[in-house]
Structure 1
Amino acid sequence: MLQSQSSLAKGLISMDAIEITVNSEEVEEAKIGAVDKASARKDEGAPLSPASLLFLEPGTNCCIIAMVGCKKKLDPGLVKEGLYRNLVKHPRFSSKLVINGGKKKWIQTQVNLDKHVTVPEVDTEMESTSQFIEDYVSNLTTIPLDLSKPLWELHLLNLKTREAEAVGIWRIHHSIGDGMSLISLLFACCRKSSDPEALPTLPKQKQTDHSRNPRRFLWLFSAVWSVLKLLFNTIVDVLHFVATCIFLKDTKTPLKGSSGVEHNPKRIVYRTVSLDDIKLVKAAMGMTVNDVILGVTQAGLSRYLNRKYGEVDRGKGAKQKSNQLPRNIRLRATVLVNIRQSAGIQALADMMNKKSKAKWGNKIGFILIPITIALQNDHPLDYLRGAKATADRKKLSLEAIFTYLASKYTTKLFGSKLSGVLAYRITFNTTMSISNLAGPVEEISFFGHPIAFIAPTVYGQPQALTLHFQSYINKMSIVAAVDPNVIPDPHLLCDDLEESLKIFKHAVLTNNSAC
């Protein structure tokens, strides 16, 4: 940690935001509009949703942080002009949190972008810009957001890395919205590089039309059987969820955080892999991208833990074995599920430009995903088969809706403190969080700056490991947010995840060749 702080101090010249004058008439109109809205609603506040209240409790006080690499140097003037024309008009990004007599409300306020956009002067000749950015982001996880202004900020670092010419770092409090809403809002601020007037295009999920199925009777029988399995799985998952909240804990492993882990600084690293490779495995195995990601996670964590337990055994002088994993490791991931239909990029763009009535906020539930930890060196595709079986079963469960309703009504009836305690116990008794978000299928630009990569994650929950997967064009960013006191080598963990995907690709290509 001392070495990281030293690296940050060497590269950083000034953390003060640079004052930028923007002379655009359109920007000035946006400023006036923001002031008018603030004046009109000065005494009128919007209440926080139960989920937003939950994300402000001490044990679950979470922030979303996203690194966005750009293919050219960031122009602060253009960025601020774009923010005035778009993001500042969004009600949550122009409201501050006000606490009065214990009640929390969103109150509209005038947005001064000089207090939200930070452009530090940096030494462009430093030895490792990537290390500096990693240290910079880690330092941000130790600094609370300023409650005197809307709970978001953007840092512009004009430092060249292996993948980008500059990096923008968003930090947004999770109480503003769920991850899917916020990343979609970011995309709504962007335009296609090939068409500056067009919004980004996201991949569409295929839906099956059963109405034209000639064997409708068989489909009806299958539907009834699916309903029965849905009820059974939901009951089992609810009981499992309650047990986890009360007493059921994950095995203590080199990935499991201890009490107070939510307050520790986090180190955030990312690795870019080929989305085409993931799709190749997906097509060969007849599964979804989510299934492949879960399989990669299981294989990568198994490789990492096997190495860690091997290091412990070597230290004890034990005989070296290929499989160092203890038996019956219980390792689970909490997954936040958006249980409402996404408003869509167009609706979010309208929300900022035309005051549309698109729904916004946090409407999310928890599900618990068991992660199989085992070595499958001879049959690596078994990781994928197991992942698909787990995912298919979770699709036939109302666990997310139950946990959403439980959190909602616990907050309404007993207050957010009790809801926060229950959510804390769930996340603390599990090992990690995992998420996957689909990004644009073509290159997009952020106010005239073509984007090279997108790497979002979250910190503040009582876990030492969070994995996020973010697709963009033909790439997938694997983002690991870790407590370095528990996981001191996150780059090695990313190596294991990347290597697992390579093994899957080789295995499916070999199988296809054999056929």
Structure 2
Amino acid sequence: MEMLVVDRLSGLDASFLYLETPAQLMHVCGMIVLDPATMPEPYTFARLQRTVEERVRDTPAFTRKLRRVPLGLDHPIWVRDRQFDIERHVHRLALPQPGGLAELTELAGHLAGQPLDRSRPLWEMWVIEGYDAGLGHDLVAVFMKMHHATVDGVSGANLVSHLCSLEPEADPLATAADQTYGRDPDQLELLGRALLSNATKPVQAARLLSPSAQLVTKTVGRARAGTAMAAPLTAPRTSFNGTITGHRTIALADMDLEQVREIKAATGTTVNDVVLTVAGGALRSYLEDRGELPDDSLLATVPVSVHGSTKRSSGANKVSALFAKLGTDEEDPLVRLEDMATRNRHAKEHHNAISADSLQDWAEFAAPRTFGLAVRTYASLRLAERHPVVHNLVISNVPGPPVPLYFCGAEVLGLYPLGPVFHGAGLNITVMSNHGHLHVGVIACRESVPHPDDLVQRFPAQLAELRAAVAARPLREEAETS
């Protein structure tokens, strides 16, 4: 039985629709590398497509579509797609020979640069056959795209669990048993709801002003005490901080999670501290070799999930963000890690002092027409190249499954999330753990970072350099005290 409520997008979910342009695409992607040898029955595309349909056809996040409010007076609503067709969402491709990683990432970059069809549920899956990873038999790669209006990092992982199990022949980790669809009201009701929502916005804004003003005062105090997180608009300019195009490049790499944990244990830091330190080293090395290394540290936006602390029950995106300096101005990896740990501790304390719902509350005031016009004007005037750099890139560290997963029966060998890129920050790095590995996914505007493989391959090297520095620390401390 369907719920008798209207499933309205939250302001934050809707803002990702308003921010989208042909160049600034607001979907998130994921590359899932599968070993078909573990499947209970021999792999065929038709069987995989049929299994996906069985697992998603009653799941609202996969089978709902957008419906606009008359005159764009309020955020859109979700309604069930009564004509849902799996063939419009799950497609088949084969890699050109030799079918290696270079061919896979080139194809993925092309697919990432294509917008999703807003007349259908906002996701698609490309099953790519013939991937030769040097294992003696071909693998299958699944390139998946979902609009950010539908998912954030946590909810995206939850949706993938509808397709994955702990054993090849087991049931999926999640089902749609407790999920329902929103009601599809008539035009008059939608218009009435929109008018009522707009009438109450001045009162809602007034309620937000006081806590926001208090937050500014507290932030100033933290800045004076040296315990505030890094501030936006203080980032140095690099070649990937300008106006972006719709072209995308993608690169993938792997690191050993146990090595990261060893460094964490030896230094009293966190996995996130180590990951950001390695990222800072990789970016430093990359920019230095290009003759572009700035004197000041790069500044990253780090998304933070607030699923555990939000008071809001609706909306797919329950996320906030903090700003982190990556220590690209520090050559010594051990000093970079120690500084990173201190800065991250202050940033977390600062972030925890901010309401978990602050970003979501203010996003409710995003106006469809105004937002869209502002983004198009910003891009056409190339304003990202005229004002101080807000941040250099987005970087995420996402905890993944600690045990093997099976996607429709095939073992998951790699799980690489890839986020959107923005005008002014044409580079996104996501690191995700998966059964003892850390998978690194880099996506960028092609004109800003034409060869991201040159960057991503530095991650394992930087991890090795940091491990060596940690191992040599007792000798260095002994030499300093003698």
Shorter-chain TM band: 0.7 to 0.9
Distance in 1 separating the partners of 2:248 and 2:147: 16
- Helix, strand or coil at the partner of 1:251: coil
Structure 2 unaligned runs (5+)? 38-42, 175-214, 379-383
Q: Is 1:294 paired with 2:276? A: yes
Q: In terms of mean alpha carbon deviation, does 278-287 or 76-85 score higher?
A: 76-85
Q: How big is each residue's C-alpha offset from its partner over 1:409-467, in whole Å with a ceiling of 9 and x where there is no partner?
A: 43434635667769x98996211000011111121101111111101111242221111
Distance 1:307 1:243, change over 3 A: closer
Distance 1:266 1:283, change over 3 A: same
- Structure 1 residue 128: deviation in Å? 3.9
Distance in 2 separating the partners of 1:195 and 1:442: 16
Q: Is 1:389 paired with 2:374? A: no
Contact 1:457/1:468 (<8 A) preserved: yes
Distance in 1 separating the partners of 2:370 and 2:304: 21
The answer to which structure has the higher helix fraction is 1
The CA RMSD over aligned residues, in Å, is: 3.5
Distance 1:401 1:97, change over 3 A: farther
Distance in 2 separating the partners of 1:95 and 1:237: 45
- Structure 1 residue 142: deviation in Å? 2.4
Matched residue type, 1:303: S
Contact 2:112/2:248 (<8 A) preserved: yes
- Structure 1 residue 331: deviation in Å? 2.2
1:171-210 matched pairs, under 5 angstroms: 171-193=145-167, 196-197=170-171, 199=173
Matched residue type, 2:90: V
1:98-247 matched pairs, under 5 angstroms: 98-101=67-70, 102=72, 103=74, 104-110=76-82, 111-121=84-94, 123=96, 126-162=97-133, 165-193=139-167, 196-197=170-171, 199=173, 232=218, 236=222, 244=232
Match 2:32 to one of 68, 72, 77:
68
Count of residue pairs the alignment pairs up:
408
- Structure 1 residue 129: deviation in Å? 3.3
Structure 1 unaligned runs (5+)? 1-35, 201-228, 313-324, 344-357
Match 1:506 to one of 462, 468, 473:
468
- Structure 1 residue 384: deviation in Å? 0.9
Distance in 1 separating the partners of 2:35 and 2:366: 50
Contact 1:367/1:399 (<8 A) preserved: no
1:450-469 matched pairs, under 5 angstroms: 450-462=411-423, 463-469=425-431
Q: In terms of mean alpha carbon deviation, does 164-173 or 59-68 score higher?
A: 59-68
Q: How big is each residue's C-alpha offset from its partner over 1:103-151, in whole Å with a ceiling of 9 and x where there is no partner?
A: 411111132101110013555xx12432222122111122211112100
Distance in 1 separating the partners of 2:457 and 2:7: 45
Distance in 2 separating the partners of 1:467 and 1:128: 24
| Superposition TM-score, scaled by structure 2 size | 0.75
Contact 1:440/1:471 (<8 A) preserved: yes
Distance in 2 separating the partners of 1:94 and 1:290: 35
Contact 1:64/1:174 (<8 A) preserved: yes
1:40-59 matched pairs, under 5 angstroms: 45-58=6-19
1:244-323 matched pairs, under 5 angstroms: 244=232, 248-254=233-239, 256-259=240-243, 261=244, 263-309=245-291
Distance 1:414 1:503, change over 3 A: closer
Contact 2:219/2:228 (<8 A) preserved: no
Distance in 2 separating the partners of 1:298 and 1:368: 14
- Structure 1 residue 511: deviation in Å? 3.6
Distance 1:512 1:166, change over 3 A: farther
Contact 2:432/2:440 (<8 A) preserved: yes
- Structure 1 residue 77: deviation in Å? 3.4
Distance in 2 separating the partners of 1:186 and 1:512: 44
Matched residue type, 1:90: T
- Structure 1 residue 89: deviation in Å? 2.0
Distance 1:77 1:402, change over 3 A: same
Distance in 2 separating the partners of 1:307 and 1:369: 23
Distance 1:251 1:399, change over 3 A: farther
Matched residue type, 1:271: A
Q: Is 1:496 paired with 2:451? A: no
Distance 1:195 1:258, change over 3 A: same
Distance in 2 separating the partners of 1:63 and 1:249: 27
Distance in 1 separating the partners of 2:408 and 2:367: 41
Contact 1:339/1:365 (<8 A) preserved: yes
Matched residue type, 1:469: V
- Helix, strand or coil at the partner of 2:66: strand
Distance 1:146 1:507, change over 3 A: same
1:10-89 matched pairs, under 5 angstroms: 45-58=6-19, 61-72=25-36, 74-89=43-58
Distance in 1 separating the partners of 2:230 and 2:290: 31
Distance 1:402 1:369, change over 3 A: farther
Distance 1:427 1:266, change over 3 A: farther
Q: In terms of mean alpha carbon deviation, does 66-75 or 143-152 score higher?
A: 66-75
